[in-house]
Amino acid sequence: MITSMTGFGRRQAPWLEGTITVEARSVNHRFLEIVVRLPKSMGALENRLKKAIQGHCARGRIELTVSIQGTQEGTRSLHLDGEMAKQYHDALRSLQRRLRLGGTIDLRLVAGFRDLFVLSEQPANDPKLEKLIERLGKQVIKDLVTMRKKEGQLLGEDILNRLKTIDGLKGEIAKRAPSVSQELFARMKERVQQLLNGHTLDSQRLYQELAIYADRTDITEELVRLNAHVVQFRQMVDRGQPVGKTLDFLIQEMGREVNTIGSKSGDILITRVVVQMKAELERLREQVQNVE
């Protein structure tokens, strides 16, 4: 069965006085795009986690985030936003000149703006912590894949139901098609006879031209190709491999055949069925956009 490109996984584990949280989420994407967000001291894990994701997923944008809260172990650093401090200073000087205020703009005044200082904590480079994060990451990836498979199962059932509807509409057209050419031949023959208004014409030549015109409206080849696409589409869904791109291509081909059937037949009943098929193909296309 097919796999969806959307999923989510989350795991937590205690670490010292704090908690480690690992989350992974995936959404639709034409290709495989992986984004791993780690604490700076854990940068060596990025490639390992990416390889783990690549081993389970073929398409989708996948984001894996690791956060550590409440731990007391690590390095603390204070950062000053110098550019923001300069903007504060310039704004205060501008206000002073505009309102003709006295006083001085000194360090004590500027230091009162707390958003100029950022205190950050980075966990220490601990091998045990790395192993724990890697283990949690692999568990989260498995959870993500499990959810993608469950959603893919539901997605596959809906896709097959819509394909069954399209196949049924195709059957209605195939049942109607043989009589269309005969009716068209009879109508054209009657019109020509009315135009001749009693004048004689080579009947063999007339029947030949009418037969050629009727043959141009024959949709047998289009129905055969459409049936082949439907069969191949169903086989792809049952393969259980990443087939999203192939399914999207087959929908394009089915749409091309349906358009040709509608333009060639010239029959009002077939045209109505063609409109229904186009609507169902569009719904099918929307679902296939979620397939890995």
pLDDT in tens for each of the 292 residues of the chain?
789 999 999 999 998 778 999 999 999 998 999 999 998 778 889 999 999 999 999 999 999 999 988 765 455 567 788 888 888 888 888 888 888 888 888 888 888 887 887 766 555 567 888 899 999 999 999 999 999 999 999 999 999 999 999 999 999 999 888 777 667 666 666 766 666 666 665 566 666 666 666 667 788 889 999 999 999 999 999 887 889 999 999 999 999 999 999 888 778 889 999 999 999 999 999 999 999 9
Q: For residue 62, what is the enclosing H or E element?
A: strand 60-69
Q: Residues 6 or more apart from 11 whose CB is under 8 A from it?
A: 21, 22, 136, 139, 140, 143
What is the reported pLDDT for 218?
A: 80
53: amino acid identity, one letter? I
> Comparing C-alpha atoms, which of 235, 244, 256, 257 is closest to residue 285?
244
Tokens standing for residue 237: 């869904």
> Comparing C-alpha atoms, which of 15, 218, 243 is closest to residue 133?
15
**pTM listed for this prediction:** 0.68
What secondary structure, in 3-state letters, does 259-292 show? Answer: HHHHHHHCCHHHHHHHHHHHHHHHHHHHHHCCEC
Tokens standing for residue 26: 């995936």
Measured between alpha carbons, how far is residue 192 from residues 207, 215, 264, 267 in Å? 11, 17, 21, 20
Looking at residue 31, the DSSP 8-state letter turns out to be S
In terms of phi and psi (left: phi > 0; alpha: psi -120 to 50; beta: otherwise), the region of 76 is beta
Residue ranges per structural domain of the chain: 7-73+125-149, 76-122, 151-288
For residues 222 and 253, give the distance between their C-alpha atoms in angstroms, rounded to a whole number.
11
In terms of phi and psi (left: phi > 0; alpha: psi -120 to 50; beta: otherwise), the region of 123 is beta
